[in-house]
Every structure is written in structure tokens, then in C-alpha cells.
Amino acid sequence: MDSLSHIVLGAAIGEAMLGKKIGKRAMLWGALGANLPDADVFFTSCYHPVDALFVHRGITHSYLFALVFPFLLGWIFSRFNWKRPASLKEWTLLFLATILSHPLLDSCTMYGTGVLEPFSNYRAQFTSLFIIEPLYTLPLLIGFLALLILKNNSSKRMFWAKFGLWSSTIFLLLAIGNKLYIEKIFSDSMQKQKLEYSELMTAPTPFNNVLWNMFARDTSGYWMGYYSHLDETRDIEFSFVPRNDSLAGELIHNVMVQKLIRFSNGYYCFTTCDDELRFNDLRFAFSGEFTCNADRRNFAFSYAIKKDDSQPFGIKIKRNPWSKTRFYGFSKLIERVKGV
């Protein structure tokens, strides 16, 4: 999730756990704890661009980090925070709850979160929320602003902390239920059209939980479709996206290309544009048309790949910028959300 969501979630947890004892500082330390796992972004520039994909949401987002680091922070804060003291246990529990909230929330989005590192490279991604989800963040933000305004001794502070926490949690649970419902609609439509697949992936489109897209893995590619709760019919139009491994040639075996494939969780395709080979991660939103016309699709997460023996690992990989049509694509997204 975005940093704002983690800030306001951590602040609400901090207020609920230690607000009565240390005042508004509980919001500050709660927000700090909730954003601490994202400190990994300061180290990504030290790595190869492909390896950097795994550094973010890596070890600092693991359950091990969330279980061990709070004890260190708890000891530091209980020892050196003299003005408004809280016990070692209280500080430790505060940082345990806020730090752990980060990977749990991130696991509900698409990028993939290394919750089991360093013991496993498995990356959790139960895609029930887009990375930025206004309806999840809004109640937490409202509660956050109310807590900033209210005085430390106000009897209403706990109400606003709980308002943000309960409202956002209820929305998250509804989003998870919505995902399960959407998957049933997609799978039923696939069966009705007698389309075969081995695995199904669904994800909400940007900034909403109404319009969803789906990729169903086939032997040589993926069936793709969109469904909005405002659609007049459940008869979904699907198009086929070929994986095009043959376009990569021998580069398909390159260690960095294999890492890109692993990062994409196997949902990828190769394309060419102006004689340039591109690796496209299908999981992320498209910039441009939100339709099933493969010829009009711009991939938001795309890498230009070229064999170059002068480069590390014998390959040159460059992240392609988003297409200039992304803002036009946003207006098309809104139209598609309204249903067809």
C-alpha cells in the first residue's frame, strides 16, 4: 500500500494502544513503526534494477523482522523516553502491532511481499486491494485529522482512533469477500465459454474495487477479461495474450530474465516495439485502453531487454517509462468502471 495508508493506520494503532499514556506522540511513533519496513527503498539503488525488485518488500517486510525488531525498539524507547514513560512491554507491543500491520496490508496488494524471508523466496499477494485504495485510506485519514485537532485529554480521541481502524478493517474484509465473488464470476464465464486454463488471477483496477481484471493461465499465454459490478451482463469478453517466449530466444535463459519471470509470478509476456524486445509484467495496470483489444494495450510495468556482453550478466535491462497515454487511460478507466 501507499505510504499515506501506512502512516494513518500506524497513527491510529498508536493512539489506540498508548494515546492515553503518552498523548499525541503515540501517533508519531505508531506512524514511524508502520512505515519502518519501507526503509528498504533507500537501499534499492545499490542493486541491479532487477534485484532491486526483490529488495523492496523483502526482508524488512518479513514476519521475522516484524517479530524481532520491536524488541529492540521497545528497549530503546523504554530506556530513553523519560518525559512520558511507558513500560518495555507497552513499547514492544506498540511496535509489534504497527510493524506487523505493514506486511499484512501489503500482502493484500499485487506487488508481492516476502513475508517468509530469509527462509523462503515466496512472496504473498492476495490481490484484494489496489496499491492505492482511497476507500480504505479515507476513514483512517478522517480519524487521523480528528486526532490531530483534538486535545490530549479529549474523551473523543479513542472514538476517532477506533473509527478509522474499524472502518478500514471492515472495508478490507469486504474487499476480500468481493475478490472471492469476482473469481466465481470469472471462472463461471470461462466455463460457459469452454475456455481452458490452469490457474486464475484476479486483481482490482487502479483506485477502486468495482472494476476487476483477470488473467487465466493457458499453456502458451493468458486469457484476459474485465468485469465491473456495474456491467449489465456477466458474459465477459475475453481476449488471448500470447506469452511469446520465442521472441526472447536464448535470452529467456538469462539469469536476470528468469528473475523477472519469477517476480511476475509467471504472469508475463514478451513483445517487440520499434525492434526493441520488451518484458511485460501482466499483473499491473495498463496505461491506455482498458479493453480486450490486445493491439491497443500499453503495459505499465515493462522492461526493454537487449543482449550486451559489456553489461553485468551479459544483458542490458532498462525500465520503460509509462506511456504518455496514461492520463487518457485514466479517463477510459472511469468509463469502464461505469459498466458496459
Q: Are residues 134 and 262 in the same domain?
A: no
What's the confidence (pLDDT) of residue 323? 52
Cβ atoms within 10 Å of 230's Cβ, excluding its own = 12
SS3 of residue 212 by DSSP: strand
Domain-ending residue, one of 175, 208, 223: 175
Q: Are residues 50 and 91 in the same domain?
A: yes
What is the rounded CA–CA span in Å between residue 105 and residue 147?
22
Cβ atoms within 10 Å of 339's Cβ, excluding its own = 14
The ranges of the chain with pLDDT < 70 are 81-84, 285-298, 321-329
Q: Are residues 222 and 296 in the same domain?
A: yes
Q: Which long-range contacts (CB under 8 A, 24 or more apart) does 132-135 make?
A: 132/1, 132/2, 132/5, 132/206, 132/207, 133/1, 133/5, 133/175, 133/204, 133/207, 133/208, 133/209, 134/207, 135/171, 135/208, 135/209
| Phi-psi domain of 289 (left: phi exceeds 0; alpha: psi -120 through 50; beta: other) | beta
Q: Are residues 159 and 238 in the same domain?
A: no
The answer to whether residues 130 and 62 touch, using CB atoms and an 8 Å cutoff, is: no
Q: Are residues 79 and 226 in the same domain?
A: no
Residue 292 lies in a domain: yes
Q: Can you say whether the dihedral through the CA atoms of 156, 139, 141, 60 is positive or negative?
A: positive
Q: Are residues 167 and 251 in the same domain?
A: no
Domain-ending residue, one of 117, 141, 175: 175
Residue 308 lies in a domain: yes
Structural domain count, the chain:
2
Residue 184 lies in a domain: no
The answer to whether residues 281 and 301 touch, using CB atoms and an 8 Å cutoff, is: yes
The answer to whether residues 234 and 188 touch, using CB atoms and an 8 Å cutoff, is: yes
Residue 186 lies in a domain: no
What's the confidence (pLDDT) of residue 294? 47
End-to-end CA distance of the chain: 29
Q: Are residues 274 and 164 in the same domain?
A: no
What's the confidence (pLDDT) of residue 296? 45
Residue 180 lies in a domain: no
Q: Are residues 204 and 163 in the same domain?
A: no
What is the rounded CA–CA span in Å between residue 12 and residue 7?
9
What is the rounded CA–CA span in Å between residue 285 and residue 236?
19
The DSSP element (H or E) to which 225 belongs, if any, is strand 221-228
Q: Are residues 34 and 140 in the same domain?
A: yes
The answer to whether residues 34 and 96 touch, using CB atoms and an 8 Å cutoff, is: no
Domain that holds residue 117: 3-175
- What is the reported pTM? 0.92
Q: Are residues 148 and 226 in the same domain?
A: no
Residue 237 lies in a domain: yes
Q: Are residues 171 and 222 in the same domain?
A: no
Q: Are residues 75 and 205 in the same domain?
A: no
Residue 183 lies in a domain: no
Residue 188 lies in a domain: no
Domain-ending residue, one of 175, 204, 236: 175
